[in-house]
Chains A and B, each alone.
Chain A
Amino acid sequence: MHYIPQLIVDALLLGGIYTLMVIGLALSFGVTRVINFAHGEAVMIGAYGAYTIALVSGIDPLLALPLLMVIGCLFGMALFKVSIEPVLKAPHVNQILLTFGIGLVLQNAAVMIWKADERSVVTPYAYSSFQFGEVFVAGGRLIGFGVALVLVAALFFWLRRTEFGRATRALDEQRDAAVLVGINVKRMYALAFGLSVALGVATGVILSFIGAISPFMGFHILVKGFAIIVLGGLGSIVGAVLGAFLLAFAETAVSYYVPNGTGWAEAVAFAVLFLVLVLRPRGIIGQAVAD
């Protein structure tokens, strides 16, 4: 039977990837107060971007990652300017329908371009594995975890130490005062949204070599993302990190200890969403979000 150190290692590796998956969603919501229902599709497009580049040119997903992130960021900023900026003052339901619609368009475009079959990128490291004592570590997951860690750390550094990062946190905390110190709010919104798409794309690139990808993966990712955000409290980036690891531990534990657990693990996110929304609607480390 499995034992605890293996469970902890697996959960940590998964949690790192989940953190990257959700942190973009938390960033764009924290700044713009628009929930991006197309975030899962940004992940999906990133995965297919890596897949296509590998297929056409043989370039490794990790090498294609920076380019794909830049393209994702620019695409996200343009998408924000064209579609989301005009509905910033509209009711939330309009915004939700809009981003949900963008997700559907991207999903169906992906079906047309890449077909509905599951695919994955085969890399030399994807199926390697290491053994530390009794613990086995899959090479692909370890590398994915490493990339996620670097990107999340880079985001935190950017938020703490740079002019625009500081402005992003200011906007997240006190919008009026951000306007009063001369922050160009619409430009910061577009930048935060672009960065959030870039982080989603990076998540997709990692998923392209650690598992199967399909045009429909976005919805599943979105549900997990919501479960994580709801666990950590809406509007808190640090909470999102905590939520990512909580979900990863819950899923891994279920897949280890419940008979036929691997299938049930996928339902954990739904169960978490249900339970938290009923029992503790402000999240585990609850913090109210205005409006």
Chain B
Amino acid sequence: MTTMLAVRDLHAGYDESSVLQGLNFELKKGEVVCLLGANGAGKTTTMAVLSGLVDASSGSVTYDGQDLLAMPSHRRVEAGLSLSPEGRKVFPNLTVEENLVLGSFNSKARAGRAARLEEVYTLFPRLAERRVQSAGLMSGGEQQMLALGRAIMAKPRLLLLDEPSLGLAPMIVQAVFEAIRKIAATDITIFLVEQNTHAALSIASRGYVMSAGRIVHAGSAAELRQSPEVRDAFIGGKSARTIREARHA
């Protein structure tokens, strides 16, 4: 498999505080990979740097052979990199359909927009029922479906999903992950940030564990499911680093 994304020694942060402190990882074409970690580990910052919302301070990111950090955000979307952000960030006063149509604003995605809209409506029949409703008036689960649908409308080759299960009822989480599974079955590469380890590992083939701005552990989904690092990191509420230090002591 060819490499889709290669992140090398990435540093980034906000003003004085640095969040990413030498991040390294890789994604191959067609993979579903998850990024796990406790609150504040730097998962969302990673997504923000990849999509261009936050600038990197050093390091490199190669996407499909191109220097990603040199591309402005809208070029990244054109090149097939699409993020469904943490907290959904739908356009609240626009209708569901307007939100989706905006998803294919980039010049590469406008052709075939109508067909993709139908695909999204097939994937999420709920959105089809609500197409003329203001997005801000929908439930959290529906907004999550909308954010996912909007990201797919961009015709992505690499789909970044930031906490799609955040704040959703277990049944809705199941429905959302079922949809992600269907998206993964097309040839879209998926990089998934989650705190819901169980759900993430149910669809990812492998994953990384992040702590304090670095990758501290990597492995296949099966390994990570068994791994005490992962289990303790989330269930015990301790950071992965604390646990690693404890094990080495």
Task: Name A's B-contacting residues (CB within 8 A).
Answer: 163, 166-167, 169-170, 173-174, 176-185
Contacts and interface: CB of A to CB of B under 8 A. Distances in A.
30 contacts: A163-B105, A166-B98, A166-B101, A166-B105, A167-B105, A170-B91, A173-B92, A173-B93, A173-B94, A174-B90, A174-B92, A176-B53, A176-B85, A177-B89, A177-B90, A177-B150, A179-B51, A179-B52, A180-B82, A180-B83, A180-B85, A180-B89, A181-B77, A181-B102, A181-B104, A181-B153, A182-B74, A182-B76, A182-B106, A183-B102
B174 to A, nearest CB: 25
Q: Which 9 pairs between the two chains have the least Cβ-Cβ distance?
A: A182-B77, A182-B106, A177-B89, A184-B74, A182-B74, A173-B91, A179-B73, A181-B105, A181-B102
Contacts of B109: 182
A247 to B, nearest CB: 25
A115 B11 CA distance: 58
Contacts of B82: 180
A178 B91 CA distance: 9
B94 A180 contact: no
A285 B122 CA distance: 39
B150 A181 contact: yes
B138 to A, nearest CB: 15
How many residues of B sit at the interface, in one of the four size bands? 20 to 34
B53 A167 contact: no
Contacts of B91: 169-170, 173-174, 177
Interface of B: 51-53, 72-74, 76-78, 82-83, 85, 89-94, 98, 101-106, 109-110, 150-151, 153-154
B106 to A, nearest CB: 3
B106 A169 contact: no
A273 to B, nearest CB: 27
A184 B72 CA distance: 9
A179 to B, nearest CB: 5
Nearest to A163: B105
A176 B86 CA distance: 11
In this complex, the member of A163, A169, A176 whose beta carbon has the largest number of chain B beta carbons within 10 angstroms is A176
A233 B115 CA distance: 40
Contact of B78 (A170, A174, A182): A182
A141 to B, nearest CB: 34
A189 to B, nearest CB: 13
Contacts of B154: 181-182
B73 A166 contact: no
Given A181-B154, A185-B74, 5 more contacts: A166-B94, A173-B91, A177-B85, A181-B150, A183-B102
